[in-house]
């Protein structure tokens, strides 16, 4: 079940954080790179006592907060083969 509260909870996982690439601080514009898709899926669909919720927490630890703007820059850099920026984690997922 996709509730409004779960969507808010997901955004609040960024509380007090900022984009690790450019420093953008607005939580609603941040995503967990590179595991956001799976984290979002798990947090929206499963309750706090589920295994999936725990998995999402582990994936958050393995991700960095980045803003949507930087995510798009990264996506483009990977497409044209210029992913030389050392601030990004080595894991590469294009989706
Ligand atoms: Zn950024």
Question: How confident is the model over 18-55, as pLDDT tens digits?
Answer: 999 999 999 999 999 999 999 999 999 999 999 999 99
Ligand 1 center–CA 36 separation, angstroms? 15
Ligand 1 center–CA 67 separation, angstroms? 4
Sequence-distant (≥ 6) Cβ neighbours of residue 79 within 8 angstroms: 94
Residues in the 5 Å CB sphere of ion ligand 1: 19, 21-22, 24, 67, 70
- Three-state DSSP at 32 gives strand
**Residue carrying structure tokens 């703007």:** 69
Q: Smallest Cα–Cα separation from 7: which of 43, 60, 57?
A: 43
- Predicted local distance difference test score (pLDDT) of residue 94: 55
* Bridge partners, residue 67, by sequence: 30
Stretch 47-71: mean pLDDT, rounded? 96
Q: Is the pLDDT of residue 12 over 80?
A: yes
- Predicted local distance difference test score (pLDDT) of residue 43: 96
pTM: 0.86
């Amino acid at each position: 079940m996709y509730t409004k509260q779960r969507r808010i909870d997901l955004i609040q996982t960024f509380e007090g954080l900022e984009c690790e690439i450019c420093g953008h601080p607005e939580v609603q514009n941040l995503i967990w790179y590179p595991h956001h898709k799976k984290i979002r899926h798990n947090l929206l669909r499963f309750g706090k006592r589920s295994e999936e919720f725990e998995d999402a927490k582990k994936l958050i630890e393995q991700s960095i907060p980045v803003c949507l703007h930087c995510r798009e820059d990264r996506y483009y850099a990977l497409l044209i083969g210029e992913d030389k920026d050392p601030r990004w984690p080595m894991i590469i997922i294009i989706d």
